[in-house]
Amino acid sequence: MVYKAEYIWIDGTEPTAKLRSKTKILPDDAELPIWGFDGSSTNQATGDKSDCVLKPIASYPDPIRGGDNKLVMCEVMLVSGKPHPSNTRAAAARTARKYKKHEPLFGIEQEYTFMKDGRPYGFPPAGYPEPQGGYYCGVGEDEIHGRAIVEDHLDACIAAGIGISGINAEVMPGQWEFQVGPLGPLEVADQLWVSRWLLYRIAEDYGVAVTIDAKPAKGDWNGAGAHTNFSTIEMREDGGYKYIEAGAKALGKKAQVHIENYGVGVEDRLTGAHETQRFDQFSYGVSDRGASIRIPWQVAVDKKGYLEDRRPNANMDPYVVTRLMVDTVCSAMK
Ligand code: ADP
Ligand code: MN
Ligand code: MN
Ligand code: MN
């Protein structure tokens, strides 16, 4: 017998990469082989040298097709065997190896917006819905749009073995969040990409699109972020608070390079309003949702735990963000 392996990869679209996938039929007992694709159709090659290589890095039970079928997260390689320039995982893997002894963990809060007929799901055909107020964690047909899709996605992530840790409705109609983690830097990034793919794929069947655009509605509406919660073993142990503060300070020293890599349109989202700090300012504080880095209240009480970087956009690349955070915080640790 045979099974279906859905090979998933990240393309070369600028400024924000897209997910792509295609299906390979494999004999039941077959290992996952490398595979090729036409890079000239994904902004990853020119037509005369179009072959790119898909190298499987992780596989998950396919919750949509069920049975023995698999989802296969891949990284893109050149035919020479070197990582393709669009492959941000290779550098993330090097950094993860270098700082392994600090046992970094991440929990990423992925916000996103359902789109229907070219506007956020739940927005009227003309004008605007009621201002923000009742939508966040709301209940009821007047507040909530797309819950069936969200529930299907949650079940699919659990069935695929993704370390999803929660979901909630967000402050704008049609806007939602799921969290992945805590997991190591590569695992969280691989699984975030796969869970994004599952979301787009499942919403297809409902005739609804998904965007991770950081500012899907102009005006007095929250943007969409990907708050990135981070800890090292030192931060999680008794007396960890001083490492959390040191981590926040280290992130402050490199604020500009982080902002530049936290997703397209980060300046439009980090305005200083809507629970954000301005993109060109840096601050950290306990419970402060207007800071760049928030130390959760419970962490301040326990004097150990983790910090939350509130700056990454929903459209960020988790390989890039986790690599930078590990590098900045761990390289500053004695
Ligand atoms: P918020 O209160 O900001 O909305 P959430 O509950 O949405 O926070 O997300 C917090 C995330 O932080 C979760 O994914 C959780 O698993 C993760 N997390 C918890 N503890 C740690 C830790 N020690 N290190 C890294 N991430 C953590
Ligand atoms: Mn959250
Ligand atoms: Mn949120
Ligand atoms: Mn948060």
* pLDDT above 80 (res 187): yes
Residue 235 Cα to ligand 4 middle (Å): 18
Determine the distance separating the centroid of ligand 3 and the alpha carbon of 59, expressed in angstroms: 28
Q: What is the pLDDT of residue 48?
A: 80
CB under 6 Å to ligand 1: residues? Answer: 105-107, 109, 165-166, 179, 181-182, 227, 229-231, 236, 305-306, 308
Query: Which residues does residue 177 pair with via DSSP β-bridges, in sequence order?
Result: 111, 168
Question: DSSP assignment, residue 26?
Answer: E
Pick the atom of ligand 1 nearest to 308's CA: 3
Quick one: pLDDT at residue 194? 98
What is the model's pLDDT at position 127? 86
Closest residue CA from atom 26 of ligand 1: 107
Give pLDDT, residue 62.
98
149/116 Cα distance (integer angstroms): 13
Closest to 8 measured CA to CA, from 61, 64, 87, 76: 76
What CA–CA distances, in Å, run from 147 to 52, 152, 200?
Answer: 38, 9, 14
Please count the CA atoms within 13 angstroms of the CA of 225 that sit on its side-chain side: 26
Atom of ligand 1 nearest to the CA of 180: 14
Question: Is the predicted pLDDT of residue 30 greater than 90, yes or no?
Answer: no
How far is ligand 1, taken at its centre, from the CA of residue 107, in Å?
5
Dist. CA 316–CA 324, nearest whole Å: 12
Cα angle 306, 311, 315 (rounded to 5 degrees) comes to 115
Residue 274 pLDDT greater than 90, yes or no: no
Q: Backbone phi, then psi, for 97, in 5-degree steps?
A: -65, -45
Q: What spacing in Å lies between the alpha carbon of 153 and ligand 3's midpoint?
A: 17
Cα separation of 322 and 318, whole Å? 6
Residue 22 · residue 7 · CB < 8 Å: yes
Please tell me the distance between residue 287's alpha carbon and the centre of ligand 3 in angstroms.
Answer: 14
d(CA 169, CA 191): 21
Q: Whole-angstrom distance between the N-terminal and C-terminal Cα of the chain?
A: 55
Mutate to test the pocket of ligand 1, among 102, 110, 112, 179 (most ligand atoms within 8 A of CB): 179
- Looking at residue 192, its pLDDT comes to 98
Sketch out the chain's domains with CATH numbers: 2-87 (3.10.20.70), 95-331 (3.30.590.10)
* pLDDT of 211 higher than 90: yes
Question: What's the pLDDT at 122?
Answer: 93
- Per-residue model confidence as pLDDT tens digits over 137-168: 999 998 999 999 999 999 999 999 999 999 99
Report, as an integer, the average pLDDT of 80-93.
96
Distance CA 132, CA 201 (A): 28
The CA–CA distances, whole Å, from 291 to 46, 122, 294, 296 equal 44, 30, 6, 12
